[in-house]
Amino acid sequence: MAYDDLRDWIKTLEKHGELKRISEEVSPELEITEITDRVSKSGGPALLFENIKGHPGHKVFINQFGSERRMALALGVERLDEIAERIHTLMNLKAPEGLLDKLKMLPQLGALTSAFPKTVSAKDAPCKERIRLDHFDLNYFPILKCWPHDGGRFITLPCVVTRDPRSGKRNVGMYRMQVYDGQTTGMHWQRQKVAAEHYRNALRDASALQSTESPLTASVAAMAESAGGAVAIPDGPIGGLPQVALGNLKGSRLEVAVAIGTDPATTFAAIVPAPPEVEEYLIAGFLRGKPVEIVQCETVDLQVPAHAEIVLEGYVELGELRSEGPFGDHTGFYTLTEDYPVFHLTCVTHRKNPIYAATIVGKPPMEDAWMGKAVERIFLPAMRMQIPELVDIHLPVEAVFHNLMLVSIRKSYPGHARKVMNAIWSLGQAMFTKVIVVVDEDCDVQNIAEVVLRVANNIDPERDIQFTLGPVDSLDHSSRLPNYGSKMGIDATRKWKAEGFNRPWPAMIEMDRTTKEKVDALWEKLGL
Ligand SMILES: Cc1cc2nc3c(=O)[nH]c(=O)nc-3n(C[C@H](O)[C@H](O)[C@H](O)COP(=O)(O)O)c2cc1C
Ligand SMILES: [Mn+2]
């Protein structure tokens, strides 16, 4: 099921009784947060605020993914596991052995063709209904101030499009944007994210280009060269160049386009932790079963979803950084200020009467809990490609996802649980997992009580806990250093002789089948 655009999606939500329109006047500063927070904590509907203080005629759409049912509806399935099954089938494609086999493959090949985005002309792109080139003021839109100590208003649901200056590959990632003034915002791509690498590549290219002109940047370029031109650029505020060299890069830019208010599959694709090689438009097309229609921007060489409500075009100037935050984050704490690149607006295009799409993050569970749940379900088959012994995973919402991953495995050799921990710590954004708990396959990791029972009973802490060091999430406020700290794995599997465990391991208590069936038959009569 593919929604044409945000409006089609809103209509569907309304038809399913999953949307509430709010005509009472509310402020985009804090009030929308408080209302949405209460609604998301009680499993309530998506909200369309139609009377925004200071923004007559504007609408704010929020909490669109805020329940398991809406998340599934957004991706056009009954259960999120259906998508995992589709991906699984696709990954298991075998070369066909006859005509019948070939015919059976057609739907899967169809799913692949529909993944490729389709370029449409500006006249077929609703996002171009209004084109505003001159000194447009971002404050025209009802952008939210989310929490009391936030540094300002933040665009919270932006699909940020960039292109790798080296490979030419596009990326769409969701990175929040703090509004500094009418024409500039922060660009909060964390250093391990794909757009941050595009930015670093632009820096590498620019400093290499300028190396003949400036002795300072020449030394930086030389450092990069000495490591095969790869990553020997010393640490800077975004894992980029040292501050001294940055001044010489004035005028060099990385183009950026931002789509706000896209169809739900496209919005969701922007948060999926896919490998950098996989473009999000492909993921969205695959999820919707229909190509994403994209259109060329007016002032930058990038393409955005043609049906977006709002498109911001512009650039970040290489080397320019500005303090970003604080921001009440999805950890339940404020993220403190840190330097990030600055986005400069060159053009805004939007639909007539644009609907401003937003989300609120804060103490879980909030809307992003369900987005995270969908990522967990959809990514399991992809993780199994790397770690085939994985039975199931669970990232409890209360632990804010990457802080805790419960994993069940088919244990087959000594040390297997530790192998799995290390594999997870090396897998894309799963590197951020602070605590991994590994249990045997007969433990249902979706059942937290069962996991706690196993962990508490099965571990000899000194023996079964493994610490390691490595990159941690930029939002972690407790690590010894920003972005770098320790992680812990707990091996709560049954211990084997081959692992040096020489005592007998007791069986878990379970009633036998015959007795259970007998009691089942008796149950009504017992009147219990
Ligand atoms: C509501 C929401 C806000 C997010 N904000 C940020 C952010 O400000 N910075 C960031 O680096 N990641 C943020 N993320 C996570 C990224 O979107 C996610 O890591 C995504 O996979 C990044 O895309 P990439 O792999 O193409 O870089 C956010 C996710 C959600 C759901
Ligand atoms: Mn990406």
**Per residue in 334-369, pLDDT tens?**
999 999 999 999 999 999 999 999 999 999 999 999
For atom 13 of ligand 1, the residue with the nearest CA is 175
Distance of CA 199 to the CA centre of its chain: 19
For residue 521, tell me if it sits in a domain. no
| Lowest mean pLDDT segment, chosen from 91-95, 286-290, 504-508, 522-526 | 91-95
* Rounded distance from Cα 172 to ligand 2 centre (Å): 6
**Residue 178: which CATH number?**
2.30.110.10
Of the listed ranges 91-95, 145-149, 319-323, 391-395, the one predicted with least confidence: 91-95
**Mean pLDDT of the chain, nearest integer:** 92
Domain count of the fold of the chain: 3
Ligand 1 atom 23: residue of nearest CA: 173
Whether residues 158 and 33 fall in one domain: no
525 found inside a domain: no
Question: Is 266 found in the same domain as 403?
Answer: no
Q: What percentage of the chain has pLDDT greater than the value 70?
A: 92
Is it the case that residue 233 has pLDDT exceeding 70? no
229 pLDDT exceeds 70?
no
* The ligand 1 atom nearest the CA atom of 174: 17
Separation of CA 20 and ligand 2 centre (Å): 32
Question: Which pairing describes strands 59-62 and 46-49: parallel, antiparallel, or unpaired?
Answer: antiparallel
Written as six digits, the tokens of 130 are: 């209004």
Q: Is residue 132 part of a domain?
A: yes
Q: How many angstroms separate the CA atoms of 452 and 442, rounded?
A: 14
Based on the fold, state whether residues 104 and 144 are members of the same structural domain.
no
Distance CA 526, CA 511 (A): 19
Distance CA 423, CA 13 (A): 39
**337 and 201 co-located in one domain:** yes
Whether 172 and 202 share a structural domain: yes
Cα(171) to centroid of ligand 2, in Å?
Answer: 5
Give 26-30 contacts, CB < 8 A, sequence gap 24+.
26/51, 26/52, 26/53, 27/52, 27/53, 27/54, 28/52, 28/53, 28/54, 28/55, 28/60, 28/142, 28/143, 28/144, 28/145, 28/153, 29/144, 29/145, 29/153, 30/145, 30/146, 30/147, 30/148
Average pLDDT over residues 516-520: 98
Q: Is the pLDDT of residue 246 over 70?
A: no
Phi, psi of 107 (to 5 degrees): -60, -40
Q: Looking at the structure, do residues 38 and 79 belong to the same domain, yes or no?
A: yes
Q: Indicate which atom in ligand 1 lies nearest the CA of residue 196.
A: 27
230 and 284 assigned to the same domain: yes
Same domain (yes/no): 89, 228: no
The single-letter DSSP state of residue 26 is B
- Of the residues 150, 193, 281, which should be mutated to test ligand 1's pocket, given the most ligand atoms within 8 Å of the CB? 193
Q: Could you tell which of 61, 175, 335 is best to mutate to test the pocket of ligand 1, judged by most ligand atoms within 8 Å of the CB? A: 175
Give the span between the Cα atoms of 288 and 282, in whole angstroms. Answer: 10
Edge-to-edge order in the sheet of strand 303-305: 118-119, 293-296, 303-305
Q: Is the residue at 422 inside a domain?
A: yes
Pocket of ligand 1 (CB under 6 A): 156, 171, 173-176, 188-190, 193-195, 271-273, 359, 361, 368, 371, 429
Domain membership of residue 513 (yes or no) is no
Q: Residue 176 C-alpha to ligand 1 middle, in angstroms? A: 8
131-171 per-position pLDDT tens digit: 999 889 999 999 999 999 999 999 999 999 999 999 999 99
Structural contact between residues 62 and 46, judged by C-beta atoms closer than 8 angstroms: yes
371 inside domain: no
Q: Which of 113, 129, 158 is the last residue of a domain?
A: 113
Instruction: Assess whether 315 and 429 both reside in one domain.
Output: no
Nearest to 245 by CA among 316, 315, 321: 321
The catalytic residues are 329
Q: Which of 78, 113, 148 corresponds to the end of one domain?
A: 113
Tens of pLDDT along 4-44?
A: 999 999 999 999 999 999 999 999 999 999 999 999 999 99
Q: 46-49 and 19-22 as β-strands: parallel, antiparallel, unpaired?
A: parallel
Tell me which long-range contacts 211-215 makes (C-beta under 8 A, separation of at least 24): 213/248, 214/245, 214/248
Q: Which structural domain, as residue segments, surrounds residue 70? A: 6-113
* % the chain with pLDDT above 90: 84
1 and 76 Cβ atoms separated by less than 8 Å: yes
Residue at a domain's end among 113, 148, 173: 113
- Same-domain status, 420 and 333: no
Ligand 2 centroid to 421 CA: how many Å?
24
- Per-residue pLDDT for 247 more than 70? no
- Looking at the fold, whether 159 and 294 belong to one and the same domain comes out as yes
Same domain, 269 and 142: yes
Within a domain: 382:
no
Q: Is residue 520 part of a domain?
A: no
Ligand 1, residue 273: give the atom nearest the CA.
21
Q: What is the per-residue pLDDT across 56-103, written as a single tens digit (0 to 9) for each?
A: 999 999 999 999 999 999 999 999 999 988 888 877 777 888 888 888
Whether the pLDDT of residue 227 is over 70: the answer is no
**pTM exceeds 0.85:** yes
Q: Give nearest CA residue, ligand 1 atom 20.
A: 271
